[in-house]
Amino acid sequence: MHAAAVRARSLIGSTRRLPIVPLLILALLVIGAVFADVLAPHEPLQVELTNALQPPFYHEGGSLEHPLGTDELGRDILSRLMHGGRVSLLLALSVIVLGGVVGVALGLISGYAGGLTDSIIQRAVEAVLSLPTIMVALVFVFVMGQTYASIILILSPFVAAELARMVRGEALSIRRTNYVALARVAGASHLRVIVHHILPNVAGTIIVVATLQVGALILVEASLSFLGVGVPPPTPAWGLMIDGGREYVATKYWLSLFPGLAIVLTVLSINWIGDWLRNVLDPKQQML
């Protein structure tokens, strides 16, 4: 291997080493979001019109009082970012839990039962995956109202479908293994076989897919709030902040820049960790 390649490899980390950089970034973001109440320098909703559109600290006229500046209503951007992270993480995790449980269950049943049950579940999964996510969510949230519940409810099926598809594929091949046949001969019930013999073997896939889905969900949630159908204002959400800064982009770029960077850093770290998990849990895929 060339020296350059060795260097590149140690930088990007296709190896199985723990990805320190994204883990650190994510840890910082999570701490900032979870303890936003204590850590944020200002109230995220506090309007101070005399303080509106302050530049970030490195600009002339900026101060460390508002390190990343203030928005058009004089609200502190850093504080809003921290509280916005809470919204993004909370929504993404709720969807993963709800959609994940349903999706894994459907995938296991589909792969294990086979036959008609499998066909029906798979047609439903294909149908859901063929829907334009943002469009459907847009309409649903518009009809049902801008609440956490309706956002979670409409995004969960997409996560469930994705997981069901992946889990089903794995369960299908595990079902045909000897140890499953032996467990059945030994008198294990179907439920026991699924829970004790198949589920542990698809856990790796579930973890990888779920991790990558968290990243995708944060992007979708940001798109929805950018379009004005995310969590209702004035709750700070990253997408909403980017939208708010759009009309000032020519002169006050930081209004849109920082929330976008927050999204990119979060999703990048999560995807990076997801890739690493895939390499570790599924060595076959490592070089793909």
Partner 1 sequence: MGRYLASRLLQALLGLIFISTLVFFLVRLTGDPARILMSDFAPLELREQLAERLGLDRPLYEQYFSYMSGLVRLDLGDSFNGQPVLDILLARLPATASLALAALVVAIILGLPLGILSAVYRGSAIDMFSRSVALFGQSVPAFWLAIMLVLIFSVILRIFPVAFGTGPESYVLPSIAIGWAAVAGIARLVRSSMLDVLDSDYVRMARAKGLPPHVVVVKHAFRSAIIPVLTFSGLVIGSFLNGSVVVETVFAWPGLGKLTMDAVNGRDFPVVQGAVIMIAVFFITINLIVDLLYAYLDPRIRYG
Rounded to 5°, the CA angle 149-152-158 comes to 150
Query: Three-state SS across 199-221?
Result: HHHHHHHHHHHHHHHHHHHHHHH
Rounded to the nearest whole angstrom, what is the least distance from the CB of residue 52 to partner 1 in the complex? 20
Q: Nearest Cα to 262, choosing from 30, 12, 11, 19?
A: 30
Among 15, 142, 182, 192, binds partner 1 (CB under 8 A): 142
Token pair of 36, please? 């936003």
Instruction: Say if residues 35 and 19 touch (Cβ distance below 8 Å).
Output: no
Stretch of 27-35, 74-82, 122-130, 170-178 lying at the interface with partner 1 (CB under 8 A): 122-130
* Residue 179: CB minimum distance to partner 1, A: 29
| 48-107 binders of partner 1 (CB under 8 A) | none
Residue 229 in contact with partner 1, rule: CB under 8 A? yes
State yes or no: residue 135 binds partner 1 (CB under 8 A).
Answer: yes
Q: What is the rounded CA–CA span in Å between residue 96 and residue 58?
A: 38
Assess whether the previous peptide bond of 67 is cis (omega < 30° from 0). no
Structural contact between residues 82 and 33, judged by C-beta atoms closer than 8 angstroms = yes
Q: Does 21 bind partner 1 (CB under 8 A)?
A: no
Give me the least distance between CB of 87 and partner 1, in Å please.
15
Sole window of 38-46, 112-120, 141-149, 180-188 interacting with partner 1 (rule: CB under 8 A): 141-149
Judged by the rule CB under 8 A, the positions of this chain that interact with partner 1 are 1-2, 4-5, 7-9, 11-12, 14, 123, 126-127, 130-136, 138-140, 142-144, 215-216, 219, 222-223, 226-229, 239, 242, 246, 249-250, 253, 256-257, 259-260, 263-264, 267-268, 271-272, 275, 287-288
